[in-house]
């Protein structure tokens, strides 16, 4: 089996298996700007990878729940290799690269999706499952229920497409909840808002459905017509790692893998973007910041940046995952009790002084207090959000305290009075009984105590 590899719709290479290796071979007419990956520039010699697909092509392969859906829908077309999986879903996905069977044009003839229906309707688990199955033919990574679907083009998009091939607009990623992470849309929307409201870093635009079960994420790799413009590569792929090793790198290695591609003129701003992302995860207690949730996007080798922040969720809000430590270690440690570790990392690796670091911490904590009050108010109006809201604000209190002081500091628990006024009970304790059998690909595996 050979697959055509397209960059912005132009066939630039072929991908195939040769004995125990996977091979990417650029076509003779491919130009330097037609590179598939930052790690694989255009050259005459083929790029070979032993046993598995090149990491770049594995970065958007589905995992967990999504992979099971693909197997259910397209089982007869799969031969057990990632190449056959990519042949099915590679024609539609994230970034400027598409992959299709030899001779097949990218894009899929799927029924347009009505965004308003999911934002305003009741998103029961069985209904969302039906949608995921319906729109499963797209390359999108992750373990939680999600999908990409073409949307109805606007009048201007339809006019722009006159005389051209069918226009497939796709502006959004649709993410749902599951039994382990109820009201994940509510959780992620407000967790992202802690950083977003400060306007100090690029953050993906999101909308929450009326029932709090679904999050609609605006894609940042496409133009106003929903067509891919940016290439995108996560740190896991840049490190040459398969997706299942996304928790194995250190934060230092992730930075080392991404920093060389950033233009020198933008270095300070981009390192600040990286810093805001790291701190936000500590404030809201997101243990799921791994090497696939830190990525670069680009239009050329001279225009590369960290993507807008995405996938920030308060994992500590769910007892099943509440005891998980940070997804990536810093200075050899995975702990929420950071002490001076983060401050030293920011100073030595990001060029951010202790005074600047302290200011960033305080601004995020102040934002967490404001957004925490919004969370509490939202839960007052919608009782079904009560439990996740309670868990979230307790987790944020823990996050703020651990950043501001290495020892317990009750005077800094900025949401305590709001929690008391809301008459929230203490948070539910972590569910340690499912430490092994309850582990999900969504989160880092808890470390066993020595």
Tell me the CATH number at 425.
Answer: 1.10.1070
* 14 and 95 fall within a common domain: yes
* 162 and 242 fall within a common domain: no
Nearest CA-CA partner of 99 in 173, 9, 161: 9
Q: Is residue 203 part of a domain?
A: no
Q: Is residue 439 part of a domain?
A: no
* 239 and 126 fall within a common domain: no
Half-sphere exposure (Cβ direction) of 364: Cα atoms closer than 13 Å: 30
> What is the rounded CA–CA span in Å between residue 313 and residue 176?
13
User: What is the per-residue pLDDT for 254?
Assistant: 98
Question: Kind and range of the H or E element at 174?
Answer: strand 172-175
* Token pair belonging to 230: 């940016």
Of 130, 154, 176, at which residue does a domain stop?
176
* 171 and 277 fall within a common domain: no
* 248 and 143 fall within a common domain: no
Q: Is residue 222 part of a domain?
A: no
User: What is the per-residue pLDDT for 443?
Assistant: 45
Burial 26-60 (b: 16+ CB within 10 A, else e): beeebeeebbbbbbbebeeebbebeeebbbbbbbb
> What is the rounded CA–CA span in Å between residue 22 and residue 25?
10
* 142 and 284 fall within a common domain: no
User: What is the per-residue pLDDT for 142?
Assistant: 66
* 333 and 416 fall within a common domain: yes
Of 176, 194, 222, at which residue does a domain stop?
176
* 254 and 166 fall within a common domain: no
User: What is the per-residue pLDDT for 105?
Assistant: 77
User: What is the per-residue pLDDT for 258?
Assistant: 98
% of the chain with per-residue pLDDT over 90: 64
Domain interval for residue 293: 231-432
406 DSSP assignment: S
What φ, ψ does residue 32 adopt, rounded to 5°?
A: -60, -30
Helix (H, G, I), strand (E, B) or coil at 424: coil
* 297 and 392 fall within a common domain: yes
- SS3 percent helix, strand, coil of the chain, rounded to 5, is 40, 15, 45
Q: Is residue 141 part of a domain?
A: yes
Q: Is residue 15 part of a domain?
A: yes
User: What is the per-residue pLDDT for 295?
Assistant: 98
Phi-psi region of 19 (alpha: psi -120 to 50; beta: other; left: phi over 0): left
| Full-model pTM | 0.88
Burial 162-191 (b: 16+ CB within 10 A, else e): eeeeebbbbbbbbbbbbebbbbbbbbbbbb
CB 150 within 8 A of CB 140: no
* 161 and 242 fall within a common domain: no
Half-sphere exposure (Cβ direction) of 442: Cα atoms closer than 13 Å: 26
CB 290 within 8 A of CB 247: yes
> What is the rounded CA–CA span in Å between residue 113 and residue 152?
7
User: What is the per-residue pLDDT for 170?
Assistant: 80
> What is the rounded CA–CA span in Å between residue 184 and residue 322?
15
> What is the rounded CA–CA span in Å between residue 11 and residue 9?
7
Q: What is the 3-state secondary structure (H, E, C) of 267-323?
A: HHHHHHHHHHHHHHHHHHCCCCCCCCCCEEEEEECCEEEECCECCCCCHHHCHHHCC
Q: Is residue 28 part of a domain?
A: yes
Sign of CA dihedral 307, 41, 229, 176: negative
* 8 and 131 fall within a common domain: yes
Q: Is residue 411 part of a domain?
A: yes
* Residue 91: Cβ-neighbour burial (10 angstroms; 0-12, 13-18, 19+): buried
CB 353 within 8 A of CB 272: no
Q: Which residues pair with 329 in a beta bridge?
A: 250
What φ, ψ does residue 442 adopt, rounded to 5°?
A: -65, -30
> What is the rounded CA–CA span in Å between residue 163 and residue 340?
61
Q: Is residue 80 part of a domain?
A: yes
CB 151 within 8 A of CB 171: yes
93 DSSP assignment: B
What lies within 8 Å, CB to CB, of 117 at 6+ separation is: none
Alpha helices in 105-178 (DSSP H): 115-120, 125-134, 155-160
- Intervals of the chain under pLDDT 50: 155-168, 435-450
- How many other β-carbons are positioned within 10 Å of the β-carbon of residue 393? 29
What's the structural domain count of the chain? 2
Nearest CA-CA partner of 175 in 325, 317, 65: 65
Nearest CA-CA partner of 114 in 183, 174, 177, 175: 174
* 291 and 153 fall within a common domain: no
User: What is the per-residue pLDDT for 406?
Assistant: 53
């Amino acid at each position: 089996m050979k697959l055509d590899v397209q960059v912005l719709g132009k066939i630039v290479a072929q991908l195939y298996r040769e004995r125990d290796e996977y091979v990417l071979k650029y076509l003779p007419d491919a130009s330097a700007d037609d590179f598939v990956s930052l790690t694989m520039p255009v050259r005459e010699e083929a790029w070979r990878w032993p046993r598995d697909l090149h990491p770049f092509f594995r970065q958007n392969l589905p995992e967990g729940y999504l992979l099971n859906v693909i197997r259910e829908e397209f089982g007869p077309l799969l031969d057990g290799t990632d190449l056959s999986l990519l042949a099915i879903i590679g024609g539609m996905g994230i970034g400027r690269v598409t992959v299709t069977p030899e001779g097949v044009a990218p894009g899929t003839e799927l029924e347009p999706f009505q965004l308003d229906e999911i934002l305003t309707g009741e998103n029961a688990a069985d209904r969302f499952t039906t949608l995921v199955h319906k729109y499963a033919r797209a390359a999108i990574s992750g373990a939680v229920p999600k999908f990409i679907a073409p949307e109805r083009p606007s009048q201007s998009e339809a006019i722009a497409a006159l005389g051209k091939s069918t226009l497939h607009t796709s502006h959004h990623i649709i993410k749902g909840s599951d039994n382990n992470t109820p009201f994940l849309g509510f959780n992620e929307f407000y967790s992202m808002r802690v950083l977003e409201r400060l306007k100090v870093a690029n953050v993906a635009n999101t909308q929450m459905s009326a029932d709090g079960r679904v999050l609609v994420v605006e894609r940042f790799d496409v133009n106003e017509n929903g067509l891919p413009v940016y290439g995108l590569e996560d740190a896991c792929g840049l490190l040459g790692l398969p997706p299942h090793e996304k928790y194995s790198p250190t934060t230092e290695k992730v930075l080392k893998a991404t920093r060389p591609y950033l233009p020198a003129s933008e270095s300070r701003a981009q390192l600040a973007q990286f810093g805001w992302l790291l701190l936000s995860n500590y404030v809201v207690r997101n243990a799921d910041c791994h090497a696939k949730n830190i990525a670069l996007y680009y239009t050329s080798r001279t225009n590369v940046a960290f993507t807008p922040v995405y996938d920030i969720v308060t994992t500590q809000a769910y007892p099943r995952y509440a005891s998980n430590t940070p997804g990536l270690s810093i200075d050899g440690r995975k702990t929420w009790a950071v002490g001076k570790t983060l401050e030293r990392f920011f100073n030595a690796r990001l060029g951010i002084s202790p005074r600047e670091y302290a200011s960033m911490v305080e601004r995020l904590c102040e934002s967490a207090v404001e957004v925490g009050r919004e969370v509490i108010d939202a839960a007052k109006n919608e009782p079904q959000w009560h439990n996740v809201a309670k868990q979230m604000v307790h987790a944020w209190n823990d996050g703020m305290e651990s950043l501001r002081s290495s020892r317990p500091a009750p005077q800094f628990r900025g949401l305590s009075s709001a929690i008391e006024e809301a008459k929230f009970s203490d948070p539910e304790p972590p569910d340690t009984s499912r430490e092994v059998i309850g582990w999900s690909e969504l989160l880092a595996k808890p470390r066993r105590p020595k």
